[in-house]
Amino acid sequence: MSFSRCALLWARLPAGRRAGHRAAVCSALRAHVEPLPGALGRVSAVASSSSSSSASGGSKAPNTSLFVPLTVKPQGPSADGDVGAELTRPLDKNEVKKILDKFYKRKEIQKLGADYGLDARLFHQAFISFRNYIMQSHSLDVDIHIILNDICFSAAHVDDLFPFFLRHAKQIFPVLECKDDLRKISDLRIPPNWYPEARAIQRKIIFHSGPTNSGKTYHAIQKYLSAKSGVYCGPLKLLAHEIFEKSNAAGVPCDLVTGEERVTVEPDGKQAAHVACTVEMCSVTTPYEVAVIDEIQMIKDPARGWAWTRALLGLCAEEVHLCGESAAIDLVTELMYTTGEEVEVRNYKRLTPISVLDHALESLDNLRPGDCIVCFSKNDIYSVSRQIEIRGLESAVIYGSLPPGTKLAQAKKFNDPDDPCKILVATDAIGMGLNLSIRRIIFYSLIKPTINEKGEKEIEPITTSQALQIAGRAGRFSSKYKEGEVTTMNREDLNLLKEILNRPVDPIKAAGLHPTAEQIEMFAYHLPDTTLSNLIDIFVDFSQVDGQYFVCNMDDFKFSAELIQHIPLSLRVRYVFCTAPINKKQPFVCSSLLQFARQYSRNEPLTFSWLRRYIKWPLLPPKNIKDLMDLEAVHDVLDLYLWLSYRFIDMFPDASLIRDLQKELDGIIQDGVHNITKLIKISESHKLLNLESLSAENRSRLSGTLKSQARRVRGTKTVGSKAAEPPVPNGGEKSLASRLVQQGLLTADMLKQLEKEWLTQRTDGKERTEPGTYSKGTRRKKKEPDSD
């Protein structure tokens, strides 16, 4: 083909394509007439000059499994015809396939790909996409057509495909183009610098350290009340409410700010000089004389720790009072070293003595007034309160998902010396934030399912810090019980409890951090076709933190992001929706988030009348436990509405009406919980609940095994999101083992171990080779439960 014909066809290319392809076509045409000597020499030359995003040395390699390839569609028929074919000749697809396969196998090419960030996985994915593109396109771009044609006729080397391959790889993995920028954006080192207002002043940091019930918060609050202005940052809404009420009752006007509620007390609606808030909501730009950050040890919380870090580094207060466990002193001192602020530690001792008993409760017949049984599952709560009722006693019930009014009502009933209710059955929700007159704490179990830093579910004995926090609730100062006692339900657990309580609490090593909306927005700008959940993963992977910090687990955020991914929303709005705190275990709450987002995206305001219809108001009092749980979920949905109403006031316009509705609902739930044993009884008789009451003997045998297991598994028993299910026996009725797994008392591994142990007892000693293991033939054929 003559060059004049080439030029003619070139002129026929649309302007955009011409611009984009000019350089490549020119070099392709050049290669066509004057092939360069060594193919690899050519590739290297292209590599070193082509891109600004060459491999960024130094930083850790990204986790490329997070890079989701975008789809590049093969080209359909073009209005200009197949220019490449006109310039050269139509390609022989069989030949092309051979060339591509050869290209893929070239070690030199793979190595070159790696230099550009294409590890084996990405290289493979990019190649498959590249090959599909080439093989399935109706016509190819001129440049690539020409080079393929040249390779077919040995006028170019197969390595000359590399620039085209790389261009394609960057199209499907845009992250390759901007790795350095992403690393800069996700640089979370030196967090103190994020708070210029706080850095502009020299703050006095006072750490009130001591066990539960030692008066830490009391002393910090005394300072807060006597200051001209102050902010209290608490871990729970209930605590923020308590300080809000205490402060106003003491004649110090104080506002309330939580995610779902803002109360201003000044008649003109102006902000009061004092504010009590949940720690996530504190302002890091308002100057205060005194700030109080309660439960500072929660700085290590895998999901919420960032809020304490932000408050600690960012509050603009002359005096910052921290209340919490001594385990946080070293870390706080280290962090304050980086801000140049000194920490004064004030140590407190418990105001009332507390003792661990030498005997377990063993039977609910031994309950006494002022006892609180602490369970780690709702099923245990139901089962225990039912058994208490059978003994003719009344109990109050407190667990995390109850509305605040209900929790307070139950606490009041238990605390009231004139009320016949003298026993409390509760989860560890009592660890913080409620004033309870407890004489004796009884741990019903010591095993608690938790979510670890990787977002995995773990079943393990409670930590020393948790045990101390709960145990510390016994014998409250200023209650009628001047001494606290602690024990367990089962004899077998008592030694483990003593062991846990006597362990030194590990010093806290790192403080939580999380990305800001702006940082995620910048990521989205660079990676526009990436889902929000994927953006978060890439952010966390790219992020760099100093040794005293860690990036918080963002699983809940990602869960919401995936839930609403298909709904068209701007990134900012989507981000806010995903920050809304929801209980992802409540299906109605999750579907409501989806529904709210959907309506938002259609620009349909969520009015009071719409929401009433949506939740099917008026709601009837609960008739059984399932009804009660449904009402709790509706209460959470109203919380979600209120939370969103403060972020999108136009779209969620009826906050005050919804708040009234929510109060009414809290009342209905209160009545339901007041009669909870009736609800449990009805649920049981309708087989809606399955509360196997384990005999003391069974429980202690199980707990003995758990104890030894617990030691072995400490901190490492991870179960997947699907709880491992042991086989269901023939009748379809779930086995005891199956229910224990469901209740979090057993893991699949423990079950396997138990099976082995029971089998050992039954098996002829000759068959055993060593304790706990068996010769081949004795292993059970039965299908083992899925592990992890």
Ligand X SMILES: Nc1ncnc2c1ncn2[C@@H]1O[C@H](COP(=O)(O)OP(=O)(O)O)[C@@H](O)[C@H]1O
Q: How far is the CB of 218 from ligand X (least distance, A)?
A: 3
Please say which residue, 161 or 312, places its beta carbon nearer to Mg ion. 312
Please identify, using beta-carbon distances, which residue of 213 and 401 lies nearer to ligand X.
213
Does position 677 interact with ligand X (CB under 6 A)? The reply is no
Using the rule CB under 6 A, give the single segment among 301-309, 471-479, 530-538, 614-622 that binds ligand X: 471-479
Tokens of 520: 């995620």
Minimum distance of ligand X from residue 199's CB (angstroms): 29
Considering only residues 478 through 537, tell me which ones interact with ligand X, judged by CB under 6 A.
478
Could you please report the per-residue DSSP string of 736-775?
A: HHHHHHHTTS--HHHHHHHHHHHHHHHS-GGGEEETTEE-
CB contact at 8 A, 432 and 239: yes
Give the C-alpha separation, 413 to 409, whole Å: 6
Our CB check for Mg ion shows the closer of 217 and 700 to be 217
Q: In the complex with ligand X, which residue's Cβ is closer, 478 or 698?
A: 478
Q: Say which amino acid occupies 208.
A: H
Choose between 323 and 655: whose C-beta lies nearer to ligand X.
Answer: 323
Shortest distance in whole angstroms from residue 294 CB to Mg ion: 6
Q: Which residue is nearest to Mg ion (CB)?
A: 217
d(CA 377, CA 446): 11
Cα 513 to Cα 376, 554, 583, 631, 735, distances in angstroms = 28, 11, 21, 34, 43
CA distance 716 to 432: 26
Interacting residues with ligand X between 710 and 769 (CB under 6 A): none
Q: Under rule CB under 6 A, which residues in 276-335 are in contact with ligand X?
A: 323
What DSSP letter does each residue of 138-168 carry, written as one string? SS--HHHHHHHHHHHTTSS-GGGGHHHHHHH
What track of x and - describes contact with Mg ion for positions 167 through 196 (by CB under 5 A)? Answer: ------------------------------
Measure the CA–CA gap between 486 and 350, rounded to whole angstroms. Answer: 15
Scan residues 197-256 and list those touching ligand X (CB under 6 A): 210, 212-218
Fill in the per-residue mask, 351 to 390: x = in contact with ligand X (CB under 6 A), - = not in contact: x---------------------------------------
Which member of 3, 337, 477, 758 binds ligand X (CB under 6 A)? 477
Residue 9 contact, options Mg ion, ligand X, none, Cβ 5-8 Å cut-off depending on partner type: none
Structure tokens at 3: 């060059």
Identify which of residues 73 and 349 has a Cβ nearer to ligand X in the complex. 349
Give 215 or 253: the residue with its C-beta nearer to ligand X.
Answer: 215
Kindly state the smallest distance separating residue 339's Cβ from ligand X, in Å. 25
558 binds, among Mg ion, ligand X, none (CB under 5 to 8 A by kind): none
Binding partner selected for residue 634 from ligand X, Mg ion, none, CB under the kind-specific 5 to 8 Å limit: none
Cα–Cα distance for residue pair 329/289, rounded to 1 Å: 22
Please enumerate in sequence order all residues whose Cβ is within 8 A of that of 377, keeping only pairs 6 or more positions apart, or say none: 427, 449, 743, 744, 745
Taking the least distance from each CB to ligand X, the nearer of 408 and 680 is 408
Binding site partner of 487, from ligand X, Mg ion, none, Cβ cut-off 5-8 A by kind: none
Nearer to ligand X, 241 or 558 (CB): 241
> Residue 255 in contact with residue 210, Cβ under 8 Å?
no
Applying CB under 5 A, among 64, 171, 217, 624 the residue interacting with Mg ion is 217
In the 8-state DSSP scheme, what is residue 267? T
Q: Would you tell me how many other CB atoms lie within 10 Å of the CB of residue 391?
A: 12
Cβ nearer to Mg ion, comparing 350 with 612? 350
The amino acid present at 483, given as its one-letter code, is: E
The footprint of ligand X on this chain (CB under 6 A) covers a number of residues equal to 14
Please answer whether residues 558 and 629 qualify as being in contact, where contact means their C-beta atoms are separated by less than 8 angstroms. Answer: no
Measure Cα distances from 313 to 291, 295, 511 in Å: 12, 15, 11
Least separation in angstroms between residue 245's CB and ligand X is 13
Q: Which stretch binds Mg ion (CB under 5 A): 68-76, 193-201, 214-222, 511-519?
A: 214-222
Min dist CB 62 to ligand X, Å, is 44
Site mask, ligand X, residues 400-439, x = CB under 6 A?
A: -----------------------------------x----
Instruction: State how far the Cα of 123 lies from the Cα of 711, in Å rounded to an integer.
Output: 45
Which of 507, 508, 520, 543 is closest to 191 using CA atoms? 543
Nearer to Mg ion, 217 or 385 (CB): 217
Residue 293: CB minimum distance to Mg ion, A: 11
The CA angle 755-761-767, to the nearest 5 degrees, is: 95
Which of Mg ion, ligand X, none lies near 210, with the C-beta cut-off 5 to 8 A by kind? ligand X
As a whole number of angstroms, the distance between CA 173 and CA 70 comes to 7
Residue span binding Mg ion (CB under 5 A) among the ranges 96-104, 211-219, 250-258, 325-333: 211-219
Sign of the CA dihedral running 583, 586, 590, 596: negative
Asked if 382 and 691 touch (Cβ cutoff 8 Å), the reply is yes
Instruction: Give buried/exposed letters for 617-628 (b at 16+ CB in 10 A, else e).
Output: eebeebebbebb
Candidate segments 46-54, 254-262, 391-399, 470-478, binder of ligand X by CB under 6 A: 470-478
* C-alpha distances in Å from residue 667, one per residue of 54, 405, 619: 63, 8, 11
Q: Which stretch binds ligand X (CB under 6 A): 329-337, 460-468, 474-482, 732-740?
A: 474-482
For ligand X, the binding residues (CB under 6 A) are 210, 212-218, 323, 351, 435, 476-478
Residues interacting with Mg ion, by CB under 5 A?
217
